[in-house]
A and B are shown apart, each in its own frame.
Chain A
């Protein structure tokens, strides 16, 4: 498996160059390049949901599928490596159809209201998720965690099944709203082998009942979670969210467009992680780290992610709804 980050000297071993055609344009890229990166070099954008530069591709959302001439089925651009002479179509009718259906299937089963860019995509692909039926009412707390694999009840014809369920709020730092989870596996990868090596969460169950879960679905404080929040950093839908942001959104005081973003260095230890502070009305409301930062790859620890409230004194501005605890 290739390492995610090249430490030390840059890899200068000569690479065989591969020439392929994408949407009629020839492009030459080093061997091992993925189709999506080859597309990027041509300025062709391929939509993604489960893909992130800093994680190993899991190619599960299938939004990035493209048509490779001669192949029986479509290929995931995020993980398929280029081959010499490959003819790739990123906008064929088959591609558009599958993307449209993937978006509709997700939008009809998952709450995508806080997924950045989603409303544009749904419009671009002419999606009408409502045609699958009226949305199923939310599941009672814990019921989706108790499904037995391979044994389901017959569908209720009055509704289109959804994963809707109450938000899990079991700690002061972040919430898990699995009604918004598209099962992209990013949080599992970030918590596990790709970044944090904590392994507090995994995918449990199977099929439509598959869900992100701690062992025995215990609350986070009883799990192995170390509250680094690196799962929040990679979540593409807002299913994982800092509790401050969640509370402010609920109170209607979260105004992303009014937030200032400032980069600084985390003051806690000698690693020197870059912190991006999101400031609204002179109050820090969120802390992140840039994905492209070679030290952090977007990751922080509990202190960098959540430990900045002392900056604002003991009683942060009440109007933002920030609790001040944590």
Chain B
């Protein structure tokens, strides 16, 4: 493509970082040295270069990881290599929160201030950091030629990092030849200051909290977590690994799907769509190839179950992906892991590598990891496709649905990590046996993420239909004022509403949702209004900005809530609540995707169930 490139040139370090991902340039047209006589006569490119567009985000990650930000020269070099117009690449780079497009220190601490952490130590960390290191980075520094001392550090606020079971959490990123990324739990104010200033060295690894049900013989999905070495294929095989795969291959694709349908397995990511139906729809599509995408972009505030599975049982996910690909005829699987989970990505990469090396993959099949870059919206399946394709994470309009037109325009199965892991017991025991656990159409076991005011936070595996009251008792609660069920896109429940069987049917009847399995508990003294404001701010920040109801609606929602809390209402609280309802209904009815459609959900329940904003007469 004939594109106008940027004038700035990359540094040798930037060039090397990009080449390490994309390979060395092969001619003068894609960024190589001039001089070859052949280059003067032929311009290789066109479709072969355009087809590499999906490597844009990995290339931007390489720059971010090496120098700590994406400079004009670096961006320009990536554009030249991939034939992407600079304006287009700029649009992508400025979409993701973990990409910096203005100079940023190499060492950055992202401090979680979301609902799970903000009342569990984050404020103390923020105060310590503000007095020792100055304010957080919220605006780009003026001018693009700011020179930074490479020993400098900075800190930023972050939405939920998925480590609510070890609150307060922080993500440390240090750019360099070997980039450091650590997800840290139980961070103390002194440690945070040390990490930003560099006086405290980065911990050797990310924090891995122990599971509260460790060793419980009733566990199905979590039985290997913390028991079997997650880095060893041999250990996984010794623990019975890959027997489900062998059985599935013997059964045949149609029989596998029949068992998954008989098991009544539904998606665990939040939407609860029947998995068997999705698989069958893709299997029978004439277009080829078929793709399988594992959604490991778990970013729903309060959710951390997939982190546990990815870090502690990665081989099981690899086996599940192989079975799902076999059943749906997918020749390639992608695992899209949020950037905030560095250890999960490392462990998955290791598991894929070992399985591939052992020759277990079917001929022509492979699994590839793609990392997010800080965008909640990429958990929406079509936004996730866009992101894998190297674009801004903007959801597509449905229909067409992914089973027909998905990743790269081909039939695609998208499944959440937990959903896929359920395939192993279904194949091993049969769908009917699996369906005997649970209640009604809510079958099997389910993972719940307990956090907040509980004695033993963590991921719990319980049969569907377990009463919320019993689940809370397992985690140990003292004083409960409210529960956030299902995440920021879920709803609040009052303390007197916890007698709830955790099934799809019962939650729907109670006008709530299990969502991604979030059970966040707030104690009596918790400032719930502050929590609601944070949720409103979250949606405002994470809206992709594509459609009007969500882009402006989330802003108006946050403004109205702030006006109520600060006592600056326009015509009284009653009028503000009516306004919130009107905006909320429009967001739910007219937004493109689930983000806008659920952006009012938690706020609405705070108003109507918790009555947090009662009109004072």
Interface residues of A (CB under 8 A from B): 58-63, 65, 73-74, 76, 79-81, 94, 97-98, 101-102, 105-106, 108-109, 131-133, 143, 146-155, 157-158, 160-161, 182-183, 192, 197, 199-210, 213-216, 223-224
A-B pairs with lowest CB-CB distance, top 6: A210-B545, A150-B97, A199-B85, A101-B586, A202-B91, A215-B86
Taken residue by residue from 527 to 546, chain B's Cβ proximity to chain A (1 for < 8 Å, 0 otherwise) reads as 00000000001001111111
- Which A residues touch B547, using CB under 8 A? 59-62
A201 to B86, CA, bound (A): 9
A131-B579 contact, Cβ under 8 Å, with A148-B139, A161-B559, A215-B90: yes
Contact check, B589 vs A157: say whether CB atoms are below 8 A apart: no
- Which A residues touch B85, using CB under 8 A? 192, 199-200, 202, 215, 224
Contact check, B6 vs A182: say whether CB atoms are below 8 A apart: no
Closest to B71 in A: A216
Contact check, B540 vs A216: say whether CB atoms are below 8 A apart: no
Binds A, one of B19-27, B427-435, B561-569: B561-569
Contact of A223 among B4, B139, B590 (CB under 8 A): B4
A204-B94 contact, Cβ under 8 Å, with A152-B537, A155-B562: yes
A149-B397 contact, Cβ under 8 Å, with A101-B549, A160-B559, A209-B545: no
Contact check, B392 vs A206: say whether CB atoms are below 8 A apart: yes
A208-B540 contact, Cβ under 8 Å, with A60-B547, A101-B586, A148-B97: yes
A183-B4 contact, Cβ under 8 Å, with A101-B583, A204-B94: no
Contact of B413 with A by CB under 8 A? no
Closest to A64 in B: B590
Contact check, A59 vs B582: say whether CB atoms are below 8 A apart: no
Closest to A72 in B: B597
Contact check, B90 vs A208: say whether CB atoms are below 8 A apart: no
Contact of A98 among B91, B100, B549, B562 (CB under 8 A): B549
Contact of B287 with A by CB under 8 A? no
Contact check, A208 vs B549: say whether CB atoms are below 8 A apart: no
Contact check, B87 vs A224: say whether CB atoms are below 8 A apart: yes
Contact of B125 with A by CB under 8 A? no
Contact check, A157 vs B87: say whether CB atoms are below 8 A apart: no
Contact of B540 among A143, A152, A215 (CB under 8 A): A152
A62 to B592, CA, bound (A): 8
Q: What are 6 A-B residue pairs whose CB atoms fall within 8 Å in the complex?
A: A81-B399, A97-B582, A152-B541, A155-B555, A201-B87, A208-B554
Contact of B551 with A by CB under 8 A? yes
Interface residues of B (CB under 8 A from A): 1, 3-4, 6, 72, 75, 85-91, 94-97, 100-102, 136-140, 142, 144, 156-157, 159, 374-375, 377, 392, 397, 399, 537, 540-549, 551-556, 558-559, 562-563, 566, 568, 570, 579, 582-583, 585-586, 588-592, 597
- Which B residues touch A97, using CB under 8 A? 582, 585-586, 589
User: Which of B72, B90, B136 has the most chain A CB atoms inside 10 A of its CB?
Assistant: B90
Contact check, A102 vs B3: say whether CB atoms are below 8 A apart: no
Contact check, A60 vs B540: say whether CB atoms are below 8 A apart: no
Contact of A200 among B87, B537, B588, B597 (CB under 8 A): B87
Contact check, A150 vs B541: say whether CB atoms are below 8 A apart: yes
Closest to B543 in A: A207
- Which B residues touch A102, using CB under 8 A? 548-549, 586, 590
Contact check, A216 vs B157: say whether CB atoms are below 8 A apart: no
Contact check, B397 vs A79: say whether CB atoms are below 8 A apart: yes
Given A150-B541, A155-B562, A207-B542, 5 other A-B residues pairs in contact with their CB atoms under 8 A = A59-B547, A61-B547, A151-B157, A152-B537, A199-B85
Contact check, B549 vs A155: say whether CB atoms are below 8 A apart: no
Contact check, A148 vs B140: say whether CB atoms are below 8 A apart: yes
- Which B residues touch A192, using CB under 8 A? 85, 88
- Which B residues touch A200, using CB under 8 A? 4, 85, 87
User: Which of B6, B397, B548 has the most chain A CB atoms inside 10 A of its CB?
Assistant: B548
- Which A residues touch B556, using CB under 8 A? 105, 108, 132, 160
A184 to B269, CA, bound (A): 31
A200 to B582, CA, bound (A): 38
A204 to B99, CA, bound (A): 13
Contact check, A199 vs B87: say whether CB atoms are below 8 A apart: yes
A213 to B85, CA, bound (A): 13
Contact check, A216 vs B72: say whether CB atoms are below 8 A apart: yes
Contact check, B543 vs A151: say whether CB atoms are below 8 A apart: no
Contact check, A202 vs B87: say whether CB atoms are below 8 A apart: yes
- Which B residues touch A152, using CB under 8 A? 138, 537, 540-541
Closest to B99 in A: A149
Contact check, A215 vs B543: say whether CB atoms are below 8 A apart: no
- Which B residues touch A79, using CB under 8 A? 397
Closest to B144 in A: A216
Contact of B589 among A73, A133, A143, A201 (CB under 8 A): A73
A157-B590 contact, Cβ under 8 Å, with A148-B97, A215-B90: no
Contact of A207 among B540, B568, B582, B586 (CB under 8 A): B540
- Which B residues touch A98, using CB under 8 A? 549, 585-586, 589-590
User: Which of B159, B541, B591 has the most chain A CB atoms inside 10 A of its CB?
Assistant: B541
A205-B562 contact, Cβ under 8 Å, with A215-B86, A224-B87: no
A151-B138 contact, Cβ under 8 Å, with A62-B591, A210-B551: yes
A131 to B583, CA, bound (A): 12
Q: Give the Cβ gap from B580 to chain A, nearest Cβ, in Å.
A: 11
User: Which of A102, A149, A204, A223 has the most chain B CB atoms inside 10 A of its CB?
Assistant: A149
User: Which of B137, B545, B549, B592 has the most chain A CB atoms inside 10 A of its CB?
Assistant: B545
Contact check, A76 vs B588: say whether CB atoms are below 8 A apart: no
A183-B583 contact, Cβ under 8 Å, with A101-B553, A206-B375, A223-B87: no
A150-B139 contact, Cβ under 8 Å, with A105-B549, A208-B555: no
Contact of B537 among A146, A154, A182, A202 (CB under 8 A): A154
- Which A residues touch B552, using CB under 8 A? 105-106, 108-109, 208
A155-B541 contact, Cβ under 8 Å, with A105-B549, A146-B139: no
A106-B545 contact, Cβ under 8 Å, with A150-B159, A204-B91: no
A109 to B137, CA, bound (A): 26
A210 to B139, CA, bound (A): 15
Closest to B583 in A: A101
A197 to B2, CA, bound (A): 9
A207-B544 contact, Cβ under 8 Å, with A157-B562, A160-B559: yes
Contact check, B91 vs A151: say whether CB atoms are below 8 A apart: no
Contact check, A61 vs B548: say whether CB atoms are below 8 A apart: yes
A94 to B553, CA, bound (A): 16
Contact check, B545 vs A224: say whether CB atoms are below 8 A apart: no
Q: Give the Cβ gap from B311 to chain A, nearest Cβ, in Å.
A: 24
A60-B546 contact, Cβ under 8 Å, with A149-B94, A150-B541: yes
A207-B137 contact, Cβ under 8 Å, with A65-B590, A158-B568, A199-B3: no
Closest to B158 in A: A150
A65 to B4, CA, bound (A): 38
- Which A residues touch B89, using CB under 8 A? 215
Q: Give the Cβ gap from A225 to chain B, nearest Cβ, in Å.
A: 9
- Which A residues touch B568, using CB under 8 A? 157-158
Contact check, A215 vs B590: say whether CB atoms are below 8 A apart: no
A204-B586 contact, Cβ under 8 Å, with A146-B102, A155-B562: no
- Which A residues touch B3, using CB under 8 A? 199, 224
Contact check, B140 vs A146: say whether CB atoms are below 8 A apart: yes
A183-B597 contact, Cβ under 8 Å, with A109-B552, A206-B392: no
Contact check, B545 vs A161: say whether CB atoms are below 8 A apart: no
- Which A residues touch B553, using CB under 8 A? 101, 105
Closest to B594 in A: A73
A133 to B571, CA, bound (A): 10
Q: Give the Cβ gap from B88 to chain A, nearest Cβ, in Å.
A: 5
A199-B551 contact, Cβ under 8 Å, with A97-B582, A131-B570, A148-B137: no
Q: Give the Cβ gap from B75 to chain A, nearest Cβ, in Å.
A: 7
A60 to B392, CA, bound (A): 15
A204-B137 contact, Cβ under 8 Å, with A76-B397, A94-B589, A109-B555: no
Q: Give the Cβ gap from A164 to chain B, nearest Cβ, in Å.
A: 14
Contact of A208 among B137, B157, B543 (CB under 8 A): B543
Q: Give the Cβ gap from A86 to chain B, nearest Cβ, in Å.
A: 12
